[in-house]
Amino acid sequence: MLLSSVFRALAGGALIGLAASIALLGNGRIAGISGTLGRAFDTGDGRDFRVPFLIALISIGALAYAVAPSAFGVPLRSTPTLALAGLLVGVGTALGNGCTSGHGVCGLSRLSPRSLVAVMTFMLTGGLTVALVGARA
């Protein structure tokens, strides 16, 4: 573990917490990515938050890649494996009502028992999966 990795993690994490706080205090919304994406096509006033939030997330990500490509690793697995992984992530976060951001950042900050159980569960199965298939291809 490099010290620079820890500083980057802390700085980036603080920005993520700030972003979640802007969404909450400005829009009254939980900045969970899976929930925001899963409801992106729903009608109703939540669209005013979800669509611009997601467009900004994707386009600033693209801009960050143009400026600092080294911040982005390359996919570790083949396209079919990633498609399977994506399907599991989509189905799992829809059933479990959240992902790393919705449960891990927003839910734990609300001291939600549901989110604590979810975080412990996905950390456990994520760890078991890596132990089984290896950290890289």
Partner 1 sequence: MKAIVTAVIAGAVFALGLAISGMTDPAKVTGFLDVTGAWDPSLAFVMVAAIAVHLPLVRLARQRKSPLFDRAFHWPTAHGIDAKLVGGAAIFGIGWGLSGYCPGPALTSLAAGGLPLLAFVVAMLAGLLVTRAIAKTS
Judged by CB under 8 A, the chain residues 33 through 72 that form the site for partner 1 are 33-34, 37-39, 41, 45-46, 48-50, 52-58, 60-62, 64-66, 68-69, 71-72
Judged by CB under 8 A, the chain residues 85 through 114 that form the site for partner 1 are 85-97, 99-101, 103-110, 112-114
Residue with Cβ nearer partner 1 (43 or 73): 73
C-beta atoms surrounding 31 within 10 Å = 22
Q: Closest approach of Cβ 116 to partner 1, in Å?
A: 9
97 in Cβ contact with 90 (< 8 Å): no
Residue with Cβ nearer partner 1 (43 or 95): 95
Please count the residues of this chain forming the interface with partner 1, following the rule CB under 8 A: 113
Q: Closest approach of Cβ 29 to partner 1, in Å?
A: 6
Instruction: Please state, in angstroms and as integers, the Cα–Cα distance from residue 34 to each residue in 66, 100, 113, following that order.
Output: 25, 9, 19
Residue with Cβ nearer partner 1 (5 or 43): 5
Judged by CB under 8 A, the chain residues 118 through 137 that form the site for partner 1 are 118-119, 121-131, 133-136
